[in-house]
Chains A and B, each alone.
Chain A
Amino acid sequence: MNARHDRNPLLMPDFDAPHWRRDFPILQQQVHGKPLVYLDNAATSQKPQAVIAAVAGYYEKLNANVHRGVHQLSELATAAYEGAREKLRRFVNAASLKEIIFVRGATEAINLVAQSYGRGRFQGGDEIILSEMEHHSNIVPWQLLHEQMGAVLKIVPITDAGELEPGAYEKLFTSRTRLVALAHVSNALGSINPVKKMIVHAHQHGVPVLLDGAQAVPHLPVDVRDLDCDFYAFSGHKMFGPTGIGVLYAKEALLAEMPPYQGGGDMIRTVRFTGSTWNELPHKFEAGTPNIAGSIGLGAAVDYLESIGMLSIQNYEQALLEYGTQRLQTVKNLRLVGTARHKAGVLSFVMEGIHPHDIGTIVDQEGVAIRTGHHCAMPVMEHFRIPATARASLAFYNTREDIDALVQALEKVREVFR
């Protein structure tokens, strides 16, 4: 064991991961006759009993459509739905409820911005700055804009450590730059980008910034006003909430000027065949019956995370990441992909002569769930000239024992290919 760890006061003692883990029914399971070791949290996180109960409770006691009925259930459902919005507002410290749009997830949030903010406003030749480490969901919506109206994508390259290349970002700004769209935390590499500084720089050029926070919100405190970002996108299912629900945060002044993304019920004030008028924010961007149960479940996830404390979670995961990094480095012929100085709990790696897909199958037989593949970040794979990586990604309910189980399973992998 590393001596430094034993002295590190942040490590484990004041964070009772096994205690929190007991709140997650699914983590009590066995897989292939072995206790489940769930290390695929960047793909999706597991759900605590509190979230499951909130979703079930909604259907058992409150189910009704929102913003519509005068009957009791509809009023209760509306109050619960809008109550969840308030929880999310507080969680990311948005200034107003008008700035919290419920969407399906980070993907829909980014598409909303591309289509509603970008499409009508940008002109052919206008430039959008992205980075080489983006998830496909923060690349393809902008490529669609390229096809639709000729927007040009400028890419901040990454270094072999998986950090944005120093100085490259600033050089990409021109008089045609209209938007920066950037991962707060990379899902494939774990890198935490210096977004606050980058936002200051963009604003000096009068350019708004969208942050893809899908991998940040579950793992560190996020304060959109402190960041001063213009748009912030995240998914509920990666932060211990249900699938099919997520949030777009956007500054009210921007949303007020943006046209609706989809048309339908709830987003209108009046409809006539000669023309319709739009509902007020945030409802203008929430056409149709929303994912009411999902929002309530996400609100419960926020309550749950706040009861633990995001700062405690961040510190604990940091220590666990450090432990995992050291342990993985003891595995022969294993190479970590993504070694940024500021990293969240993502351990992407390759093993010499063994394809990640085979690693994934073999460790699964040991009960260890990891992801293998390109992680929806093909440009990252291309940068490192590898087809895929194996990726273990952490959450606060993981423990050192989980890492040890992974390392042991990797020894099995080496045995099979001996």
Chain B
Amino acid sequence: MDLKELYKDVIVDHNRSPRNFRKIPDATRIQEGFNPLCGDKLTVYLKLDGERISDLSFEGSGCAISVASASLMSERLKGKTVMEAQQLFDRMHALLTREGMDSDPESLGKLAVLSGVREYPSRVKCATLCWHTLKNVLEHPGNPPVSTE
């Protein structure tokens, strides 16, 4: 398999200049995620305005896959509703962990570039860490840190 399938330009770019890589001082919810296998650590900041995600950001250290995934996630979900975020989690989870095509890959847009991790079992968790962290903070605010192990 060609490395370019994993390290697509979009991923390399989002790793180099991650979007929404900052704290939200008045965040409604904050959640830490941790991948003990590689030491990836990230914090997701979420600002809710009713059911709408008015701001979403993250900080932390991680590999290119985990940073790009979080960056793309934040870009995509800002302004969306909690329901839309949960639906997107399900689709991303399927995209990153299962064979078979998404029914509407077009609509995933840039997020589809992450599908390359499926060929690298040891890297799937890098891509899913931020998504699990987000899901957790949406469903159970105030939980202990999420671990992908």
Contacts and interface: CB of A to CB of B under 8 A. Distances in A.
Given A355-B64, A357-B63, A417-B12, A362 B3 contact: yes
Interface string A343-372: 000000000011111100110010000001
A416 B3 contact: yes
Given A387-B41, A388-B39, A355 B123 contact: no
A373 B37 CA distance: 7
Contacts of A417: 7, 12, 15-16, 64
B55 interface: no
A41 B144 CA distance: 36
A146 interface: no
Contacts of A98: none
Interface string B35-48: 00111110000000
Contacts of A354: 64
A363 to B, nearest CB: 10
A353 B3 CA distance: 18
Interface in B54-81: 61-65, 67
Nearest to B3: A365
A357 B40 contact: yes
A355 B12 contact: no
A85 interface: no
A381 interface: yes
Interface residues of B, number: 23
B120 A373 contact: no
Contact of A355 (B1, B4, B16, B62): B62
A402 B93 CA distance: 38
A374 interface: yes
B6 interface: yes
Nearest to B7: A416
A357 B3 contact: no
Contact of A387 (B3, B39, B122, B123): B39
Interface in A114-137: none
B101 to A, nearest CB: 24
B39 A358 contact: no
A373 B63 CA distance: 11
Contacts of B37: 373
A388 B38 contact: yes
B126 interface: yes
B6 A357 contact: no
Contacts of A353: 16
Given A373-B37, A416-B12, A361 B123 contact: yes
Contacts of B123: 357, 361
Contacts of B40: 357, 387
A374 B34 CA distance: 13
A373 B62 CA distance: 11
A361 B126 CA distance: 12
Contact of B6 (A355, A361, A372, A412): A361
Contact of A372 (B1, B15, B38): B38
Contact of A361 (B12, B16, B39, B120): B120
Contact of B63 (A355, A378, A381, A412): A355
Nearest to A365: B3
Interface in A370-418: 372-374, 378, 381, 387-388, 412, 416-417
12 contacts: A355-B63, A357-B62, A358-B7, A358-B63, A372-B38, A373-B37, A378-B39, A381-B39, A387-B61, A388-B39, A416-B3, A417-B64
